Amino acid sequence: MAIECLVLGAGQEIGKSCVVVTINGKRIMFDCGMHMGYQDRRRYPDFSLISKTRDFDNALDCIIITHFHLDHVGALPYFTEVCGYRGPIYMTYPTKALAPLMLEDYRKVMVDQRGEEEQFTSAHIAECMKKVIAVDLKQSVQVDKDLQIRAYYAGHVLGAAMFYAKVGDSAMVYTGDYNMTPDRHLGAAQIDRLQLDLLITESTYAGTIRDSKYAREREFLKAVHKCVAGGGKVLIPTFALGRAQELCILLDDYWERMKLKVPIYFSAGLTIQANMYYKMLISWTSQKVKETYATHNAFDFKNVRNFDRSLIDAPSPCVLFATPGMISGGFSLEVFKRWAPDEMNLVTLPGYCVAGTIGHKLMSGKPTKIDLDKDTQIDVRCQIHQLSFSPHTDAKGIMDLVKFLSPKHVILVHGEKPKMATLKQRIQSELGIQCYDPANKDSVCVPSTHFVKAGASNAFIRSCLNPNFKFSKSSLEDKSDSGSQGMKSMPWLQISDDRVGEGILVLEKNKKTKVVHQDELLHMLGEQKHEIQFAYCCPVHIEKLEQTETTDLIPTNDKLSASDKSSVIKKLLVKLSSELSEANIHDFGEHIQLESFHVSICLKDNCPYRITDSLQSKSEAAFFCCSWSEADEKLARRIISIMENCNLT
């Protein structure tokens, strides 16, 4: 069994996130986004790869949308209403509430302003939303008998979630976009330590490590304050949801602190509506906002009011939030046209602007003139400040998450190719986790966990319940054998609790597997217990002096008196005890026992365990018959080497 991961979008790029994962036979589509950079077919994921017959209902078990950004949800109405997918769609409550706003806004811009052919209508959006099943955080949802999904808080934007999916024994997490550090209004991503086969994570900032957020905030506030103090106007082009609220909280706070009276405006429309949602969805915001909620709703901005068009040319300083973020058109462009020529004014730009927008032009160098179209040219004299706020986690955050979850495999999506490659290397080398960065339309297969169900005998279960831990010190042999520094730093004390490992897996006659306790096995099989016993007849050199006395004795071995025997044994015992000081040697007169190692004098001339081509002549040596069980193999070898090399005096 394997997990197959087909990347339809956001493979080695940012935009139109869409990954179809087949996991133990279940197919889930994570995100269904559109690419904002394209106007043609390329804006949507290539859905035909899912099913040649376009029978999506059977091809997919469900769709999961992580958050309401268009590059994650943009293609959904198209897929459901135009392509005809009718299966379940899961998203969090805030996403369900805010996604139609975003979609509608986009549709308007697309159709009403650009006059494009309509891809989906308002009715489509409404219909699509009806199919959506809203889920709560950490709520386990059983999509069907085998497929279970669960949402975890992801930060990023209101309602953003990471999704955990589990089919049988295989489990995976798709992060969507997430943020590992909290910002002014949203918390950091939060997830349990799960056993995962696969983690699919975004990697927008795969190559960036951001330092303290406080410095960034300070910089922003300083720039804004300086501008309004000098009587200028500040234009903050921003997306309606997310950054606008964060910056607003930041500014409102600062305004309170500094007792500034300069008005902050929100351009009417989407943002106001979005603020309302934020106010309602407090439970999805950061801990800070939640804590103060009882006394003050952070989204009740004290200094923020609605903007009236007539105020554009008012002389007094002000701060204005206007959509869209990259000054690609709409109200922010309108205001930009009026305010850009005045050098007292300030325009802040979001961290990322798509090529072709005015925002992008402003970011690349500082142009003095911008050609809007053939007839219009804007004098740009105002100051430009680039925001470095981002709702995405940085490379360290990605590493931290991967380290925390420690999945067996990682797939990177939603990032720029070269940076993804670097991060992939890091994950593999630093964390030792297999990592992939597939391109669009590529498919990655990773092995999945599959457990075989087995019955268990009562004895086995009982043995599992009782603790059975053992301690072991790093053994003597390890030290003496290697003597290396590396071995020296082995743990002094190791603990093992083998209560589960003691079982034996058997396949019963009815082909069912069962785990039994080892004691039961023989009984089950109706067999006797066999033990392997080793034997060796070991020659031991005996000193000359001794030999003179024993020369006569040796040919007539059988006459060897009991006392002689025991004296030789005694000598051997002394020898062994001195060599193996810590071993527990038992002396039984006739023989010596050390664990399972048994040694006695061999009187047979042709002992079967004697290696006859031994170099030592018979006359110089006495023979000891040794036997031992397999468990003490190492010990036995050691004793024998001692015996062979010793001289009994």
CB contact set of 539 (below 8 Å; sequence gap of 6+):
610, 614, 616, 621, 622, 623, 624, 644
CB contact set of 1 (below 8 Å; sequence gap of 6+):
24, 170, 447, 448, 450
- Total residue length of the chain: 649
Contact with other proteins (CB under 8 A): which of 365, 467, 526, 608?
A: 467
Q: Minimum distance between the CB of residue 152 and other proteins, rounded to whole angstroms?
A: 9
Q: Minimum distance between the CB of residue 389 and other proteins, rounded to whole angstroms?
A: 13
Interaction residues for other proteins, span 361-380 (CB under 8 A): none
- In the DSSP assignment, the letter for residue 116 is P
Q: Which stretch binds other proteins (CB under 8 A): 190-198, 409-417, 523-531, 590-598?
A: 190-198
Number of residues near other proteins (by CB under 8 A): 52
d(CA 31, CA 18): 5
Interaction residues for other proteins, span 579-618 (CB under 8 A): none
d(CA 75, CA 80): 9
Residue 226: CB atoms within 10 A of its CB come to 14
Contact with other proteins (CB under 8 A): which of 193, 261, 374, 530?
A: 193
Q: Which stretch binds other proteins (CB under 8 A): 70-78, 105-113, 281-289, 548-556?
A: 281-289
Q: Minimum distance between the CB of residue 504 and other proteins, rounded to whole angstroms?
A: 20
d(CA 572, CA 568): 6
- Reduced to 3 states, what is the DSSP secondary structure of residue 559? helix
Q: Which CB, 120 or 205, lies closer to other proteins?
A: 205
Q: Which CB, 22 or 457, lies closer to other proteins?
A: 457
140 counts as binding other proteins under rule CB under 8 A: no
507 counts as binding other proteins under rule CB under 8 A: no
d(CA 44, CA 15): 10
State the SS3 of 453-480.
CCEECHHHHHHHHCCCEEEEECCHHHHH
- In the DSSP assignment, the letter for residue 24 is T
d(CA 72, CA 176): 8
429 counts as binding other proteins under rule CB under 8 A: no
295 counts as binding other proteins under rule CB under 8 A: no
d(CA 625, CA 147): 65
Q: Given 202, 217, 246, 520, which residue is catalytic?
A: 202
Q: Minimum distance between the CB of residue 19 and other proteins, rounded to whole angstroms?
A: 23
261 counts as binding other proteins under rule CB under 8 A: no
Q: Which CB, 396 or 591, lies closer to other proteins?
A: 396
* CA–centroid distance for 455 within its chain: 32
Q: Which stretch binds other proteins (CB under 8 A): 330-338, 344-352, 497-505, 630-638?
A: 497-505
292 counts as binding other proteins under rule CB under 8 A: yes
* CA–centroid distance for 304 within its chain: 41
d(CA 499, CA 503): 8
Contact with other proteins (CB under 8 A): which of 81, 394, 437, 520?
A: 394
Contact with other proteins (CB under 8 A): which of 102, 172, 191, 602?
A: 191
Contact with other proteins (CB under 8 A): which of 127, 400, 620, 644?
A: 400
Q: Which CB, 121 or 292, lies closer to other proteins?
A: 292
211 counts as binding other proteins under rule CB under 8 A: yes
* CA–centroid distance for 634 within its chain: 43
396 counts as binding other proteins under rule CB under 8 A: yes
Q: Which stretch binds other proteins (CB under 8 A): 160-168, 205-213, 266-274, 299-307?
A: 205-213
What is the dihedral angle through the alpha carbons of 203, 208, 211, 214, rounded to the nearest 10 degrees?
-60
Q: Which CB, 292 or 649, lies closer to other proteins?
A: 292
Q: Which CB, 286 or 345, lies closer to other proteins?
A: 286
Q: Which stretch binds other proteins (CB under 8 A): 63-71, 188-196, 318-326, 417-425?
A: 188-196
Contact with other proteins (CB under 8 A): which of 140, 443, 496, 533?
A: 496
d(CA 269, CA 271): 6
Active site residue 202: yes
Paired strand residues for 135: 92
Contact with other proteins (CB under 8 A): which of 33, 45, 74, 187?
A: 187
Strands 233-237 and 318-322: parallel
Q: Which CB, 494 or 645, lies closer to other proteins?
A: 494
Tokens in use for 292?
């103060």
Q: Which stretch binds other proteins (CB under 8 A): 115-123, 270-278, 354-362, 465-473?
A: 465-473
d(CA 37, CA 409): 31
Q: Minimum distance between the CB of residue 244 and other proteins, rounded to whole angstroms?
A: 20
Burial (Cβ within 10 Å: 0-12, 13-18, ≥19) of residue 432 = exposed
451 counts as binding other proteins under rule CB under 8 A: no
d(CA 376, CA 26): 55
Orientation of helix 518-525 relative to helix 458-465, angle to 10°: 170
288 counts as binding other proteins under rule CB under 8 A: yes
Q: Minimum distance between the CB of residue 471 and other proteins, rounded to whole angstroms?
A: 7
Contact with other proteins (CB under 8 A): which of 497, 508, 590, 605?
A: 497
Q: Which CB, 148 or 273, lies closer to other proteins?
A: 148
Q: Minimum distance between the CB of residue 259 and other proteins, rounded to whole angstroms?
A: 7
Contact with other proteins (CB under 8 A): which of 462, 544, 559, 634?
A: 462
478 counts as binding other proteins under rule CB under 8 A: no
d(CA 217, CA 214): 5
Residue keyed to tokens 């960036």: 208
Which segments of 458-605 does DSSP mark as H helices, in order?
458-465, 476-482, 485-488, 518-525, 544-550, 562-579
Q: Which stretch binds other proteins (CB under 8 A): 41-49, 91-99, 204-212, 361-369?
A: 204-212
Residues within the interface to other proteins (CB under 8 A): 181-182, 187-188, 190-195, 209-215, 218, 254, 256-259, 286-288, 291-292, 394, 396, 400, 403-404, 406, 430, 462, 465-467, 469, 471, 473, 489, 491-497, 499-500
Enumerate the active-site residues. Answer: 202
